Amino acid sequence: MKSAWEQLNKRIEKQEILTHQMIEKSTQRQYHSKLKKIGTSEYIGTLICYIGAAYLIVNFTKIEQILMQIFGIISIALLLILPIISLQSIRAMKKVNIVSKTYLETINTFAKQKIKFQKLQKLNVALGMFLMLIAIPVLSAIQGKDVSQIPHFWSVIFPFFVLFFLGFAYWVLRAYNRALNEAEKMLN
């Protein structure tokens, strides 16, 4: 094992691995650390949610039924809160202290952050599904339509959407559970 490693070391010594250009880039602030970066998709998601919330707020007066108004308020609250939960959980993951922690501390912190993140994401998905369900009648109410007047709404369209969302939620949550299991394994 040691001899194979030493042979590898000898081969590496003969290679010009790191270019001066790469070192220059790191020292001249041309490089932006990816560890602290929040992805464009997260910002786009947040923007979409806030546009949706703004639309509901602007058109809120058009909703007449009390039940739909309650659904509307819940929808606005969810559209405002969901991106905050998401961004906060990502930010928590980005609080990295690479230098002062030992390797074992870093593994433990990383795994715990990942577990917390996955749990929050699961909560986010569940709330997102709920939001999509209650947003349908609210949007209909804004457009002056009563959902019960849409043919087959309660008998076909609504159950179809429920089934679709449940299937989608199952698929998404399964992926999060897998990631969660992997993170938990790191702590063993």
Binding site for other proteins (CB under 8 A): 1-2, 4-5, 7-9, 11-13, 15, 17-18, 20, 22-23, 25-27, 31, 33-35, 93, 96, 98-99, 101-107, 110, 114, 182-183, 185-186, 188
- Round to the nearest angstrom and report the end-to-end CA distance of the chain: 26
- Decide whether 21 or 148 has the Cβ nearer to other proteins: 21
Q: Which residues contact 150 (CB under 8 A, 6 or more apart)?
A: 140, 157
The closest alpha carbon to 36, from 90, 88, 86, belongs to 90
- Decide whether 94 or 145 has the Cβ nearer to other proteins: 94
| CA 87 distance to own-chain centroid | 8
- Decide whether 15 or 143 has the Cβ nearer to other proteins: 15
**Cβ 27 to other proteins shortest distance, Å:** 5
Q: Which residues contact 123 (CB under 8 A, 6 or more apart)?
A: 85
- Decide whether 65 or 181 has the Cβ nearer to other proteins: 181
